[in-house]
Amino acid sequence: SQTIHQWPATLVQPVGSPLSLECTVEGTSNPNLYWYRQAAGRGLQLLFYSVGIGQISSEVPQNLSASRPQDRQFILSSKKLLLSDSGFYLCAWSRGTGNTGELFFGEGSRLTVL
């Protein structure tokens, strides 16, 4: 069966510090990978998605970046965090081929920027 792991679960970072959130998927090959952000009481905002190694699509301009160094690894980064980067970050995967839309989410990473 497929599983998705995301870490760290919680972190508190000062403004201006770097960020690295990591996500890995097991039990599948060539998945599509996604990073979402969910602000308190609000819906899901798609930040990045990737259909293959080194292929990153950005949905919104911001000081975050994403990388996919391996087929089942997706990393969200920032060089300098802003207060507005606080939120709940979710990694997700879907089937790369025969995709009918189902997304499977990780447990999330809660980021507080002070």
Interface with other proteins by CB under 8 A: which residues? 6, 32, 34, 41-44, 46, 49, 51, 57, 88, 90, 92, 99-108, 110
Q: How far apart are CA 31 and CA 99, in angstroms?
A: 9
| Residue type at position 95 | R
Select 18 or 27, whichever has its Cβ closest to other proteins. 27
* Min CB(106)–other proteins separation in Å: 5
DSSP-assigned letter for residue 63: S
Q: How far apart are CA 16 and CA 78, in angstroms?
A: 9
* Min CB(21)–other proteins separation in Å: 13
Cα distances from 100 to residues 14, 29, 30, 93, in angstroms, run 40, 16, 15, 12
Select 32 or 78, whichever has its Cβ closest to other proteins. 32
Structure tokens at 31: 């998945």
Q: How far apart are CA 36 and CA 88, in angstroms?
A: 8
* Min CB(79)–other proteins separation in Å: 26
Select 3 or 18, whichever has its Cβ closest to other proteins. 3
Select 76 or 92, whichever has its Cβ closest to other proteins. 92
* Min CB(57)–other proteins separation in Å: 8
